[in-house]
Amino acid sequence: MTPPHSSEPDRHDGDDPAPRTPRLRAGDEERDAVLDVLARAHGAGRLDPSEVDERQRDTLRARYVDELPDLIDDLPEGRELAARFSSHTGRAEHPRPSPGTLAHTSGGDIVPVTAGSGPPETTVAVLSGREHVVEPGTDLVRSYALMGGDEIYLGDVMGPGVEVTLECYAMWAGNDVYVPAGVKVIDRTANLMAGNTIAKNARGDGSNGTVILTGFSLMAGHDVKLDPNWTPRRSLEG
Do residues 120 and 164 share a domain? yes
pLDDT confidence bin for 143, thresholds 50/70/90: very high
Residue 234 domain-assigned?
no
- Share the mean pLDDT of the chain: 80
User: Is 192 within a domain?
Assistant: yes
Q: What is the mean pLDDT of residues 156-175?
A: 92
- Residues 199, 135: one domain? yes
Answer yes or no: do 125 and 206 share one domain.
yes
* pLDDT attached to residue 235: 41
Please indicate, yes or no, whether residues 155 and 83 belong to a single structural domain of this protein: no
User: Quick check: is 3 in a domain?
Assistant: no
Residue-wise pLDDT tens digits, 112-129: 455 566 788 999 999 989
Q: Are residues 78 and 163 in the same domain?
A: no
One DSSP character per residue, the chain reads -PPPPPSSPP--TT-PPPPPPPPPBP-HHHHHHHHHHHHHHHHTTSS-HHHHHHHHHHHHH--BGGGSGGGTTTSGGGHHHHHHHHHHHTPPP-PPPPTT-EEE-TTS-EEE--TT-SPPEEEEEES---EEEPPTT--EEEEEEES---EEE-TTT--TT-EEEEEEEEES---EEEE-TT-EEEE--EEES---EE-GGG---STT-EEEEEEEEES---EEEE-TT--PPPPS--
124 and 55 part of one domain:
no
37, pLDDT greater than 70: yes
Same domain, 154 and 77: no
Together in a domain, 123 and 61: no
Closest Cα to residue 87, out of 62, 60, 68?
68
- Whether residue 125 sits in one domain with residue 78: no
Say if residue 161 is in the same domain as residue 201: yes
Does the structure show a pLDDT above 50 at 111? no
Is 235 a member of any domain?
no
- On the question of pLDDT at 17 being above 60, the answer is no
pTM given for the model: 0.53
Residue 112: per-residue pLDDT: 46
Q: Note down the domain range covering 209.
A: 114-226
Quote the number of domains for the chain.
2
Whether 130 and 204 map to the same domain: the answer is yes
Determine the average pLDDT of the residues in 64-81. Answer: 90
Query: What would the pLDDT profile of 191-217 be if each residue is shown by its tens digit?
Result: 999 899 999 999 999 888 999 999 999
